[in-house]
Structure 1
Amino acid sequence: MLLPVFHLSVVALNVFAIAYDQLYLDIPFPSKVFEEMPFKARYIFLTIWCFILQTLYFSVSFLNDVFGTNEATPKRTPLIRSIKDVLFSMAFPVALYVSVSFWGIYAIDKELIFPEMIERIFPVWLNHTMHTFITVFLVIELLATKRNYPSRATGNTIMSLFIIAYVIWIHVIHHKTGTWPYPILDVLNPTLRLVFCGFSTILGLGIYVIGEKLNSVVSPTSKQHYTNGTMKKSKLK
């Protein structure tokens, strides 16, 4: 009973956060082009990509609570459960990456990631909802539910496509507007931007593996996949 309440509560909070952002916040952008973009140009930020992914995950989780199963290793896995498991393998590393990178850069020089002019108008609760709670909720989910990760090859492919898609996207935005979504990219020369994007890709894939390993620890009866395509059901000794 608690799981559906938890999942639905996260969805409700996220929807409220997005609605509040769209109705009450006007973030000053360095280029007027952003003002003409739909969704108040929020989709240029990885935070929003992550937030939408998390909201989708918890929505599917709620549907799985109602129509699927939360058994560790069901004999017949419903489609909704399979979708849920794959979405978690993406949502967890993306959320952890967003939280670590945002607060890490914020601690070093917040002007590079969250300038003072934005922080003054951005509610603290909304900031934490988008940059902190995204990881907190998924850690709770990791501990409270069971899941079967996809194969390492499948997971790495999905993560790589997600990262590459966003890297291409920010370059498209820069090409059209002459402005990067994040101030930190303005202070990096082309070589350092390439290094930054490469490091971010490696970090994202590394966090994916961390999520996979954590899952094998907290869900010792789940099916674990390997890169050679084999699968083994691990049991707690």
Structure 2
Amino acid sequence: MTLTLRKVFHVSAFGWYAFVVNCLALKDGEELPPGIFVYGGPWKYLTFLNLLLQMCFFGLAALSDLQEKSESFLSRCKDLLFSVFVFPVGMFVVLLFWVIFTYDRELVYPATIDAFFPPWMNHAMHTFVLPVLLGEVLLQPHVYPKRKHAITALSVVGVAYLSWIIWVYLSVGIWVYPLLGYFSSAGLVFFFFFNMMVVTSLYVLGDKLNSFLWSEVDRNKRTPVKSRKSGL
């Protein structure tokens, strides 16, 4: 029953994210409202990149479900992708967006965008990611890599994205997110460092949740979660 539910969940989640990404793609060519600029397209927004990440993961998970071997290469790739990137980045997008939105939405999602993105799409990008991630945590255990390797990978990706949005700013003189325009150079460094600490903490949270929810199952199988840590 659990295996069937897991398969249905993975296929449904992949279909959902594919639908959302397609809806965003269909908006290509429409007149952009103030607050969105052409340069870099949707690829400059972490929200869009996260949607692609989530879609790719659940597509990979659905394919992995078709394999009989639980320790296949595809399964290991799926675990690595979820633990290091999908869970912490997805949680970060939801957390940071709604914290800033609640304080002052104009800093991250100007009201002019409401006419371009209907409310359901806003929630699809910034809210529903959370319950889908928690559903994955509840339905399937994941093998986590060594923490230092995971944090290194997260840091590399974080620096790459930071470099990208700085390049966008240097190219057109506009920050991807209006909030960034309020910081000094030192403030920007602190803000990005703080964000990396948050993402790292979310990675640790995912690891702890995985161990808490599945350690009893693994003990019954005599394969404790901690001892199964990958050497990646």
When normalised by structure 1's length, the TM-score is 0.85
Q: How does 1:147-158 map to 2 (within 5 A)?
A: 147-158=142-153
Look up the match of 1:81: 75
SS for the counterpart of 1:179 is coil
Look up the match of 1:174: 169
Alignment CA distance shift 1:176-1:36 (3 Å): closer
Q: Kindly state the Cα deviation for residue 2 of structure 1 after the two structures are TM-superposed.
A: 2.1
**1:13 and 2:16 matched:** yes
Q: Kindly state the Cα deviation for residue 132 of structure 1 after the two structures are TM-superposed.
A: 1.1
Look up the match of 1:212: 207
Q: Kindly state the Cα deviation for residue 224 of structure 1 after the two structures are TM-superposed.
A: 3.9
SS for the counterpart of 2:66 is helix
Alignment CA distance shift 1:15-1:132 (3 Å): same
C-alpha contact 1:68 1:80 (8 A) present in aligned 2: no
Find 1:201's aligned residue among 196, 203, 216: 196
Q: Partner letter of residue 51 of structure 1?
A: L
Q: How does 1:87-166 map to 2 (within 5 A)?
A: 87-89=81-83, 90-166=85-161
Between 1:16-25 and 1:152-161, the stretch displaced more is 16-25
Question: How far apart are the structure 1 equivalents of 2:68 and 2:184?
Answer: 49
Q: Kindly state the Cα deviation for residue 217 of structure 1 after the two structures are TM-superposed.
A: 0.3
SS for the counterpart of 2:142 is coil
Question: How far apart are the structure 2 equivalents of 1:177 and 1:29?
Answer: 15
Q: Kindly state the Cα deviation for residue 35 of structure 1 after the two structures are TM-superposed.
A: 2.8
SS for the counterpart of 1:192 is helix
Look up the match of 1:52: 52
Question: How far apart are the structure 1 equivalents of 2:148 and 2:178?
Answer: 34
Alignment CA distance shift 1:207-1:214 (3 Å): same
State the percentage of identical aligned residues: 32
Question: How far apart are the structure 2 equivalents of 1:68 and 1:157?
Answer: 32
Question: Which structure 1 residue ranges, 5 or more long, are not aligned?
Answer: 71-76, 226-230
Question: How far apart are the structure 1 equivalents of 2:94 and 2:35?
Answer: 24
Question: How far apart are the structure 1 equivalents of 2:74 and 2:179?
Answer: 39
Q: Kindly state the Cα deviation for residue 29 of structure 1 after the two structures are TM-superposed.
A: 5.1
Question: Which structure 2 residue ranges, 5 or more long, are not aligned?
Answer: none
Look up the match of 1:228: none
C-alpha contact 2:10 2:61 (8 A) present in aligned 1: yes
Deviations 1:27-72 (A, max 9, x none): 33558xx4365xxx001001111111111110110011012555xx
Question: How far apart are the structure 2 equivalents of 1:11 and 1:29?
Answer: 31
Between 1:55-64 and 1:214-223, the stretch displaced more is 214-223
C-alpha contact 1:113 1:183 (8 A) present in aligned 2: yes
**1:28 and 2:33 matched:** yes
C-alpha contact 2:34 2:113 (8 A) present in aligned 1: no
Deviations 1:191-233 (A, max 9, x none): 21111111001111111111111111011126545xxxxx368
When normalised by structure 2's length, the TM-score is 0.87
Q: Kindly state the Cα deviation for residue 154 of structure 1 after the two structures are TM-superposed.
A: 1.7
Moved over 6 A (4+): none
SS for the counterpart of 2:38 is helix
Alignment CA distance shift 1:172-1:3 (3 Å): same
Deviations 1:149-201 (A, max 9, x none): 11112211111112111111111111111111101011222121111111001
Deviations 1:93-139 (A, max 9, x none): 10111000000000000000110100232111111111111121011
